[in-house]
Amino acid sequence: MEELVLKNANVHIENGELASYKIDGHEFIHQKGSPGWRNSDTEMFPIIGPTDEADFKVDTPRGPAIQDQHGLLRELSYDMISKGMTSAVYQKEYVANTRVANSKYPEKSTAKKLSWSYDFNFQKSFSLSEDGLEISFKIIGEEGMPFMLGYHPAFKLHIEEPSIETNDRNISLKEVLSVGSRALQVANCENILLKDKKSLSIKTKGFGNFMLWTEVPNMVCIEPITFYPYAVEANDLHKGFDFLGKEPKEFIVQITPKTRK
């Protein structure tokens, strides 16, 4: 497990996954083994959303691709390409049409192997500063490659009634719980404030939207996304694609601790 340290802040990264972010002993990240979710963070790429209702197929300009929920990136392993005292960079590489074993098969899926019709290199970077923790993503791939991107971090909750504030909404934990597995849409939003015992600002660049998910009261996932998958029918997920240009695409998530008012 890699560690980034700066004064009173500590970040632990496990195989590219944000396992812990502590300031003065206060843990902001949901811990594996706690109720709610088996991970602490992950990425959704190159699609977001359920595909079971579409026979695990997503339309692309090169024909149907076999994808399970939230894509195949999570089935690949990160390689660390650099690390310093306050930063680390990881990457995953994929060769077009390589068949990847689906960890959900056969218990939760009938799709044994997943594949994508394009080469890509996916980089995830961590940078710890006095202001907070920045997590950035760079997608390098073929011009015209379709994709969606979602970042899926889970935050530990310390009080019974935390709230989530946007510029024009105040969302209670009960509202998120009531939506269930579909996740609550927060459209056209780049900045969210999680108000807990110690609060966090989650500011993004490039995503444009969030969705909120939890099924337990001890954690909440605040997920920057390029597209909310339940805005369309399962067979129409391709309508939510962005496309790579000649240059790589970059996305940023800034997690900044705040004093709760």
> What does R_g of the chain's alpha carbons equal in angstroms?
18
Determine if the peptide bond prior to 50 is cis (ω within 30°).
Answer: no
Average pLDDT over residues 217-239: 96
Q: How confident is the model at residue 259 (pLDDT cuts 50, 70, 90)?
A: low
For range 12-34, the mean pLDDT: 97
In this structure, which long-range contacts are made by residues 73-77, counting pairs with CB atoms below 8 Å and at least 24 apart in sequence?
73/43, 73/44, 73/45, 73/46, 73/122, 74/42, 74/43, 74/44, 75/100, 75/101, 75/102, 75/103, 75/114, 76/100, 77/15
Predicted pLDDT at 1: 87
Task: Answer yes or no: is pLDDT of 260 > 80.
Answer: no
Mean predicted lDDT score pLDDT of the chain: 96
- Indicate whether 261 pLDDT > 60: no
Is residue 175 pLDDT above 60, yes or no?
Answer: yes
CATH topology of domain 2-258: Beta-galactosidase; Chain A, domain 5 (2.70.98)
- Tell me, what DSSP letter sits at residue 55? T
pLDDT digits (tens, 9 = 90+) for 68-99: 999 999 999 999 999 999 999 999 999 999 99
Asked whether residue 171 carries a pLDDT value surpassing 90, the answer given is yes
> Quick check: 174 pLDDT over 70?
yes
Strands of the 17-23 sheet, one edge to the other: 2-6, 9-14, 17-23, 26-27
Whether residue 170 has pLDDT greater than 60:
yes
pLDDT at 117 over 50: yes
Q: How far apart are CA 70 and CA 92, in angstroms?
A: 16
pLDDT for the residue 176: 98
Q: Is 80 exceeded by the pLDDT of residue 206?
A: yes
What residue segments make up the domains of the chain, in order of their start?
2-258
Give 147-164 pLDDT, tens digit per residue.
Answer: 999 999 999 999 999 999
Average pLDDT over residues 168-176: 97
pLDDT at 69: 92
